[in-house]
Structure 1
């Protein structure tokens, strides 16, 4: 789920170019930590601030078991309140607004229970609606409520299907507001488009000389559309490794070796928070049609975690 490009973005010319001879790692870290963060919109054109963009990965921590077996999980939320109840504000926040969200999407994200509420049967329903004022939906997050660096997070989800729909379960680095995207990093646990007969899973990382991300991950076709039933989608994070999966199947295993520039652009050994949303139309997956059914609902049965 590509994050909307933040007004504060990295000055590309001071990042190492792929064809250049890299300096020693210690010197490169020093240079990266002093990269200027500049305003990329007209409203703040010319404003310059200097920030630490990312820190060196932690060392000496053992990798956790990517299978998820033999470990005890904590339930973050199982959505067992009455039908129509709002989410627990101690656990959940909302991203709101009609801004295109980096993909020319058409929905207006709200914090209304019309778009995100508990269904009375143990699920969170995130619903995209076609209203007189346009499409509305919800983007529900754990920002400032829950974050993790190493461990495993799982969510049991049933996806919506329909032309122009783009539901996702994903993560962003908690420093997104200070360093911008893609420097904060993005992990897409699961995304599906249109008929939900496809899956996409992987990461977005910074790259040299660009305000866009470099991507590593996988796409494929499930045995049945992801709208047919609930599936458990998960991400397992350990030092220098991100693994994503569905049920008992590993979808992607990504390490610094999968990135151009290697560990100099690996920003995934730090805290991330969770996001769940249903986007409508835009560049990816394309427009809706008269056959797209609304409400289009992503149902989340539970979210649980194990931190290492």
Structure 2
């Protein structure tokens, strides 16, 4: 019995030695290689306003180039708050700063950026015609290069008039929606407004893969788009954005149902691996 006991002890030591103490295995995320680590996350486990060390606010009601109808507010719990372990971004029908709707646009700009990695968000989406939630990224150089030269990665976009269709897209100077040359694809789910789903990209120097619930549905490749900065600006730091827009050129194509508000996007967590 003694030799067998020693074998078991040695085997257990080997198993424990192989486990990485740095990387907790996330619920509903793929088992990634041992070289990839969790480098940033927000689990939304503290109620109140969003963590100011991780998130800032983009504020205003200028339509954001899309003729959107909301005014994005700052540090206003009616529009952005953490409760019951979830981030709530809520669009409301109310008169505010000359607009008829309010909402929030949270971003990691000037706080944290990343170049490459797996970026994922577990979210449940708002319902109804006129809603336009998004999980997306912009190049850190947006203030100097401008859009679309800075590059844009839309991890998840959904418009309420086309419920269940999830879009993953990139925009560059050469390929963007203003020219109707953006590069993207879509996948359809039947319960995005009632259940949480995992929206993710895996981004390297050569390509960006798009996933829903770990099902890859689209890949955009540098070798296809081209090597210039105008074609592939995805070799620089990007920051993350979470928002719910109201109406706009896309979200409002079929109008806005004025009877559905308030509507919310709930986010269980956001995680970044590199």
TM-score, normalization: structure 1? 0.72
**Equivalent of residue 42 in structure 2, options 39, 52, 77:** 77
Secondary structure in structure 2 of the residue aligned to 1:270: coil
Is the aligned partner of 1:96 residue 2:59?
yes
Give the aligned partner of residue 12 of structure 2. Answer: none
Give the aligned partner of residue 72 of structure 2. Answer: 109
Give the aligned partner of residue 37 of structure 1. Answer: none
Secondary structure in structure 1 of the residue aligned to 2:160: coil
- Aligned residues of 1:182 and 1:212 also touching (Cα < 8 A): no
Deviations 1:211-240 (A, max 9, x none): 757411102322x13112001111111112
Q: What RMSD over aligned residues (CA atoms) do the two structures have, in Å?
A: 2.0
- Aligned residues of 1:174 and 1:271 also touching (Cα < 8 A): yes
Secondary structure in structure 2 of the residue aligned to 1:189: strand
Q: Structure 1 residue 169: deviation in Å?
A: 0.2
**Equivalent of residue 85 in structure 2, options 119, 122, 126:** 122
Give the aligned partner of residue 148 of structure 1. Answer: 114
Structure 2 segments unaligned to the other structure (5+ residues) = 1-29
Secondary structure in structure 1 of the residue aligned to 2:249: coil
CA change 1:258–1:217 in 2 (3 A) is farther
Between structures 1 and 2, the one with greater helix share? 2
Is the aligned partner of 1:207 residue 2:174?
yes
Deviations 1:136-189 (A, max 9, x none): 000000001111112111111111111011000000000000000000000000
CA distance in 1, matches of 2:144, 2:95: 36
Q: Tell me the matched-pair count.
A: 234
Give the aligned partner of residue 212 of structure 2. Answer: 246
Secondary structure in structure 2 of the residue aligned to 1:87: coil
CA distance in 2, matches of 1:237, 1:272: 11
Q: Structure 1 residue 74: deviation in Å?
A: 4.2
- Aligned residues of 1:182 and 1:213 also touching (Cα < 8 A): no
CA distance in 1, matches of 2:215, 2:123: 15
| Runs of 4+ in structure 1 over 4 Å off | 210-213
Secondary structure in structure 1 of the residue aligned to 2:271: strand
Give the aligned partner of residue 132 of structure 1. Answer: 95
Q: Structure 1 residue 256: deviation in Å?
A: 2.1
Q: Structure 1 residue 207: deviation in Å?
A: 1.6
Deviations 1:255-296 (A, max 9, x none): 12332xx112210011101000000011112121244x1111
Q: 5 Å matches for 1:1-308?
A: 69-70=32-33, 71-82=36-47, 85-111=48-74, 112-119=76-83, 121-133=84-96, 134-195=100-161, 196-207=163-174, 212=179, 214-222=181-189, 224-259=190-225, 262-264=226-228, 265-286=231-252, 287-291=255-259, 293-307=260-274
CA distance in 1, matches of 2:235, 2:51: 28
CA distance in 2, matches of 1:87, 1:290: 28
Q: Structure 1 residue 114: deviation in Å?
A: 1.1
Secondary structure in structure 1 of the residue aligned to 2:143: helix
Secondary structure in structure 2 of the residue aligned to 1:258: helix
Structure 1 segments unaligned to the other structure (5+ residues) = 1-66
- Aligned residues of 2:206 and 2:223 also touching (Cα < 8 A): no
Q: Structure 1 residue 251: deviation in Å?
A: 2.3
